[in-house]
Amino acid sequence: MDRDKKCTVDAYMTKKVVTVTKDATFADAAKAMIDNKTNGAVVVDDNKKVVGILSSWDLIQYVVPDYLEADKHLAAFESADVFAKRVHAVKDAPISKFMSKHVHSTKPEDSIMEAATLLSEFRIRQLPVVDDAGVLVGYINRTDIKRAIGEVLGLSE
Amino acid sequence: MENVSDVTFYLAIGIFVITYAIIISEKIHRTVIALTGAALMVLLGIMNQEVAIEGIDFNTLGLLIGMMVIVTIAKDCGMFQYVAILASKVGRGKPVPIFILLGLIVAIFSAFLDNVTTVLLMMPVTFVVANNLKLNPMPFIIGTILLANIGGTATLIGDPPNILIGSAAGLNFNDFLVNLGPISLIGTAVTLAMLYFWYRKQLVATPAAQASIMKFHPREAITDTPLLIKSLVTLGLVLVGFFTHNFLHLEGATIALGGAALLLLLTMNDPEHHLRDVEWTTIFFFIGLFVLVSGLEHVGAIRLLAEKALELTGGDVTVLTIVLIWGSAIFSAVVDNIPFVATMIPLIHDIGAISGITLTPLWWALALGADIGGNATIIGASANVVVSGMAAKEGHKVGFVPYMKVAVPMTFVVLLLATGYMYLRYL
């Protein structure tokens, strides 16, 4: 990467973002992630403002009953049909019940280091990119940062 | 007691009553309000800090903390889950034997562990067994609550009120086991029989469901064999310590904290992690209560109550004992039994000091009423609240009134048996 090349988020972010609306259900979110072959989706309200973030972790954790999470010794003994039963039991639950509401986000003009710091500090996989009004404009994830590292090292092209 | 002014006297009672009222209302976390009340007792000059600290029973605190440390480390090895899974296999996958065996295990664990710890360990395994049997877990949920509280009655370390009573009255582990063990056993057996008759139509499973239980390999529950051995060694030594602590002239806290130190040493574990798992909010709640009660004692209010109690009962031990069992049970059904017992202890001491009557039956009556009375309502004991919270998360809401329909008659029968036991043995 050139020293003077712009090291800002907008140079690396993806503009096409998988979103779900805040009134979507568990099943809607699962479908959006499966259709788009992604493990993350940004939750937005009617004005495209970011209100939450959803990863496949959130779906998995919501399916696993608390009593099994609390007791690692027991999963091996649980009845085999419980998985399907649980999925059916939660399919209509609103995503607001299990999405992460505390969303870290970045802005297009922020530096890549700033975005990388957030990913590293909070051990997260992706950051929504928002404008000054909080409206979603893009998405930056670990792959994008990896690309920036590759450019610095002259590994690509 | 020194001479105290009327202002100090009423101020102490005012702080005490308001604090307890807020604890009962659950508007503010019980630990926060107990500490606030305790601080006010000292800040407003009802007693100085020295008197306040003398009021704290460090033997009770040490015993609680020691046992909490041991259990937080030991539960990671999977032995408690192993026993429960093994029981369902021993029951050949048949719902009724499994229901009874799991109930017995809850009662036995609860006799040696704190009731809340017992239900936290047993509820997940209960859900798993009920799911495998394709049964509604409600009979198991209700059974776990009732038997945790009844089993906890049996020993010094089974339920916090017992620790408080044992420490204050100088009653040791064997005293509890010999005096309360038999009635706890009778209560467990009778409760299991009543639960069976109540729920027998629901406790039916298909051959396929039974087969899924028979496929269990209980060994899979043991996730850490070295830890299992270390935990068993420690728990074994602690139990031997409790059985012999009056011959060894050691107090409960020495044994529990000694066991905790041993297990920390054996596992060479990061102590910060395990010490953080101690329920410090409970410990500080006790500290606050001890100071509050000692304020009330210091101004002479407890002695006044003791005089009134003797006046009303004519100083008759039989009347006092029966009133104490049923009064404690009713109180404990509605409010937290720990603050109630903490207040009753100096009151009973004073009754003894004034009248010179033998206090032993009164201590057992207080323990029985407070431990068993908690069964009557879903909010009557901490274990009940924890179980209903876990059940609600899995979509099995335990309603206030439906719970009472089952629990009140069963609690009543056990209390009746306890009264008969007390009468025949001590009065």
pLDDT tens digits, one per residue of A102-132: 889 999 999 999 999 999 998 888 899 999 9
Q: Is residue B342 part of a domain?
A: yes
In chain A, which residues have their Cβ closer than 8 Å to the Cβ of B127? 65, 67
Summarised one tens digit per residue, pLDDT across range B233-278 is 999 999 999 999 888 889 999 999 999 999 999 998 678 888 988 8
Range of the domain at B395: 6-54+79-221+279-426
CA dihedral B416, B418, B420, B423 (to 10 degrees): -140
Asked whether residue B253 is domain-assigned, the answer is: no
**Residue B294: inside a domain:** yes
Strand partners, A135: A49
Statement: residue B171 has pLDDT above 50: yes
Does residue B177 sit within a domain? yes
Confirm if B147 and B372 have CB atoms less than 8 A apart. no
Percentage of chain B with pLDDT > 70? 99
pLDDT at A1: 47
Q: Within a domain: residue B228? A: no
Band (pLDDT 50/70/90 cuts) for residue B1 is very low
The sign of the dihedral angle between the CA atoms of A93, A99, A101, A107 is: negative
Alpha helices per DSSP H over A17-126: 26-35, 56-63, 66-70, 82-90, 112-122
pLDDT value of position A76: 86
Q: Per the structure, how many domains does chain B have?
A: 1
List the one residue out of B187, B186, B176 whose CA is nearest residue B154: B176
Q: A77–B120: do the CB atoms touch at under 8 Å?
A: no
Segment B71-93, tens digit of pLDDT: 989 988 889 899 999 999 999 99
In angstroms, the separation between the Cα of residue A71 and the nearest Cα of chain B is 7
The span from the CA of B400 to the CA of B391, in Å, is: 13
* ipTM of the complex in this document: 0.71
> CA of A83: which chain B residue's CA is closest?
B131
User: What number is the average pLDDT over the span B123-152?
Assistant: 95
Give the tens place of pLDDT for each residue, B217-237. Answer: 999 899 889 999 999 999 999
For residues A150 and A132, the answer to whether their CB atoms sit within 8 Å is no
Under DSSP, is residue A39 helix (H, G, I), strand (E, B) or coil? Answer: coil
Confidence of residue A74 (pLDDT cuts 50, 70, 90): confident
Q: Residues in chain A whose beta carbon is closer than 8 A to a beta carbon of chain B?
A: 65-68, 70-74, 76-80, 82, 89
Residue of B422, B410, B418 whose CA lies nearest to B147: B410
Q: What angle do CA B317, B320, B326 make, to 5 degrees?
A: 140
Task: Please report whether residue B386 resides in a domain.
Answer: yes
- pLDDT above 60 (res A3): no
Higher model confidence: residue A81 or residue B411? B411
Segment B189-216 mean pLDDT: 94
* Residues paired with B372 in a beta bridge: none
Closest residue on chain B to A69 (Cα): B124
Question: Does residue B34 sit within a domain?
Answer: yes
| Three-state DSSP class for residue A6 | coil
Q: Rounded to an integer, what distance in angstroms lies between the CA atom of residue B138 and that of residue B405?
A: 13
∠B391-B395-B398 over CA atoms, to 5°?
Answer: 50
Contacts of A88 in chain B (CB under 8 A): none
The 10s digit of each residue's pLDDT in B348-378 is 999 999 998 889 999 999 999 999 999 999 9
Identify the contact set of chain B against chain A, taking CB-CB distances under 8 A: 78, 81-82, 85, 120-121, 123-125, 127-128, 131-132, 134, 212, 216-217, 220-223, 390, 393-395
Cα separation values, A126 from A23, A61, A95, A102, Å: 22, 18, 18, 13
Please count the other Cβ atoms lying within 10 Å of the Cβ belonging to residue A15: 9
Residue A157's pLDDT is what? Answer: 57
Residue B387 CA to residue B389 CA, distance in Å, equals 5
Mean confidence (pLDDT) of chain A: 89
Q: What is the pLDDT of residues B150-165, one digit of tens each?
A: 999 999 999 999 999 9
The helix/strand/coil state of A82 is helix
Flag if B394 and A76 touch (Cβ within 8 Å). Answer: no
Domains of chain A as residue ranges with CATH:
9-152 (3.10.580.10)
Q: Tell whether the model's pLDDT for residue A136 goes beyond 90.
A: yes
pLDDT of residue A73: 83
* H-run or E-run covering A152: helix A142-152
pLDDT value at B203 more than 60: yes
Going by pLDDT thresholds of 50, 70 and 90, the confidence category of residue A5 is low
Average the pLDDT over B1-23 and give the result: 86
CB atoms within 10 A of CB A76: 13
- Is B129 inside a domain boundary? yes
Q: Which is nearest to B260 in space by CA: B423, B43, B67, B6?
A: B67
Facing A78 at nearest CB: one of B81, B123, B128 = B128
